[in-house]
Chain A
């Protein structure tokens, strides 16, 4: 085996007993430039009058044939350079990620109110708005369907004729024998759960700037979470080679999955105008356009039956999951797939029967949002667990501890988890630290004394598969080069969306593996100039995404160890490189990092490397939904304390106790930031946020006045320090698994369980707005 074998290198660093910078709360490299307004975001590149301003014409019908688009008057305005529709697309007008069902610009038919139809290119912003008013679209209306249950039944109205059904995609799991499982169960609970859409409401809306260059290439400043995917989509739409398209990514003002779906399409629209006109073209979504156009968190209906035996062991589950995917599947099939394969929760279930349906309706599409199909199903799972515990008369934590997955057990898909399964330890540790039983007892006493206000304590425990689902290939890569002065450039496609991956953890990983001073490490992120790194999604930036960074750095380090051993006349094993000091631990002879790098250049030692790593995966049988689902799982548990005003129906989260089993924690402050942010976003989702749809399927609250995200007054600031179980994963960098999505996933379950505990009534429908809480109490 070669000394630069990635498995060997990963395993060598996995075994590290002490760390220089990994595991420490290193400050982000971008903080000060962001604070003083120097950090560039997308709109900061726009210069009015010097580049085209692009405005989108959106559909005002939910389901209609486009009979004609007349923009002749608009073209008479002085500053209008062109109006472009589907017929101007030189390549393929199909941008569906999972299924080929979605056009970049509507072609023949519109399927939701807000669907982009045309692009107006103008030298002047005001004229772009004027032109918008002057374009006349003639529609022939078709009957719309908004209810996914109705859409599943109807054969006479098809949202996509070519599909022959409104059911776009189905999934299943068949494990064991559920009839036997239920016959062995002494307690059975059955409920139907409903969850709603969520708008990402990242504070920076979507934008892109496309600039043609003299060689016929197009450079795109993009907000996509996966630059190489944006490159592929643009290539397809324009019909030009990917090598002629260069994507660069500035700082992104929040994404949460929304810019994974929409980002490449924004890039493609700007690129289309730039390609057709030969001019730089800037497209920005207004807040209203952003909310109307881009895909949302899944809205679901979940029927869930579970059975336990006398001893409290789960025997069987039967689950039906319906996802309202809206007008296009976008990533809907992947979202449904993830929901299906996580539908047992992190528990051992011997017998399972699960059916999933991804259903078209004439509404805004469903898409990627922190948790990706998992928060809704974990809400159902964890509600079931609390109901089972209640019926059995045992504590909810006790029931969970009996059933949680442990190393050596197999998942709902029959995949044996041999290591990195810290969930039972995590729940046990969290419950002890927060004194779960004591807090719960005290609350029950408090409630006896309190009439108007009721308090409750609830927990949500969840799991989340790392990497892409099934055997779908996933890999990692990065390119690192050390410059002659000893400074280091790291090239990655991973983007900076606020999570701090390129600005903290990559610098830490490279400084750790090379031994160079942290401040010497510069990360060039979000660029197609880097090898295809995969997306910044699925909590993979510091997990899968960082494997390539570590492998590349570790390869160079092996070479530097050998070089240093030559210079210092010792064995490579005796070389220590730490914070820029290079020494032989036997003789203590020492040189400086800069000298070592200079010698590397002088003696012909290559100080650049790529870190390609192909993640080993197993086989999955789609016919029965059994096999290898994910290479590893991160686990999370969050307990929350709520108080309910039973007169007004208002719920407040007073305190949260998070816990995480995500392998090695690379940067505790950044991980806390992800957890605290996810808790606030979860509180928003469960208590405040809801899209309202009008009679045309249009979003009525497409602004931040009526779509209410939490302010500083609406969240709890009392979030305990997280409990960590570092259940390291063998292929993760230093054993790290994913973090970004985790704390959101159990939040709907935790809050719903806490409210159910306080009111002694089962919550089955979200959100828990005052109106819905009063209905639950029986006050409305």
Chain B
């Protein structure tokens, strides 16, 4: 099936099997390696992408469902000021260890900060509860995000 959507601000069209998941489309057809495969059942959040600015597990979305939608991965945000602020804070606070969950966390945090300048701790925890990290214990991730509250 032919599907057209906006990927990182660029209009794209792909011909996919109806059962292909967005995670595979992004990795295999577009080479977007930031979208990680962690559990393939919507639990871990490593495959998070933004669909119309909202964080979504790309392993739980069929590619045919995103017709006409706007998909964003970290590759599409490298020149964005808010994104840069978040990644620099993650780096400086030591919030990145193995890094496998990192793009997912950053996209989820980015989506939160786009709608709220000064989220509360509760907002941050609520937003990030769908992203798992096995290395950091989350403390430095929260530190990184609270330190950029404007």
Measured CB to CB, the residues of A under 8 A from B are 25, 27-28, 30-32, 34-41, 43-44, 48, 200-205, 251-254, 256, 286-287, 497-500, 669-670, 672-673, 676-681, 703-705, 709, 711-713, 715, 717, 719
Contacts and interface: CB of A to CB of B under 8 A. Distances in A.
B135 A673 contact: yes
A28 B91 contact: yes
A14 to B, nearest CB: 27
Interface in B62-102: 73-75, 78, 87-88, 90-94, 96-102
Given A36-B78, A203-B44, A676 B87 contact: no
B139 A253 contact: no
Range of interface residues on chain B?
A: 35 or more
Most-contacted residue by chain B among A35, A252, A680 (CB, 10 A): A35
Most-contacted residue by chain B among A31, A201, A678 (CB, 10 A): A31
B87 A704 contact: no
Contacts of A205: 37-38
A160 B102 CA distance: 44
A717 B102 CA distance: 18
Nearest to A45: B33
A25 B91 CA distance: 12
A37 B26 CA distance: 13
Contacts of B128: 712
A37 B73 contact: yes
B74 A677 contact: no
Given A25-B94, A31-B91, A672-B94, A251 B132 contact: no
Contacts of A252: 98
Interface string B120-148: 00000100111111111111111000000
A204 B138 contact: no
Nearest to B98: A498
Contact of A712 (B44, B106, B138): B138
Contacts of B139: 676, 715, 717, 719
Interface of A is mostly: loop
B13 interface: no
Interface of B: 27-28, 32-41, 43-44, 46, 73-75, 78, 87-88, 90-94, 96-103, 106, 125, 128-142
Contact of B91 (A32, A672, A704, A719): A32
Contacts of B134: 200-203, 254, 256, 677, 681, 709
Nearest to A682: B137
Given A36-B74, A204-B98, A252-B98, 20 more contacts: A30-B96, A31-B87, A32-B91, A34-B102, A35-B91, A36-B78, A37-B33, A37-B75, A37-B103, A203-B133, A203-B134, A254-B100, A256-B134, A673-B94, A673-B137, A677-B137, A704-B38, A704-B44, A712-B141, A712-B142
Contacts of A677: 97, 134-137
A495 to B, nearest CB: 11
A652 to B, nearest CB: 14
A400 B116 CA distance: 49
B99 A498 contact: yes
Contacts of B106: 35
B97 A717 contact: no
B138 A680 contact: yes
Given A34-B96, A254-B98, A673 B136 contact: yes
Contacts of A48: 28
| In the complex, the 3 A-B pairs of residues with the closest C-beta atoms, listed nearest first | A37-B34, A498-B98, A34-B99
Given A498-B99, A712-B142, A703 B136 contact: no
Contacts of A39: 99
A251 B99 contact: yes
Nearest to B124: A712
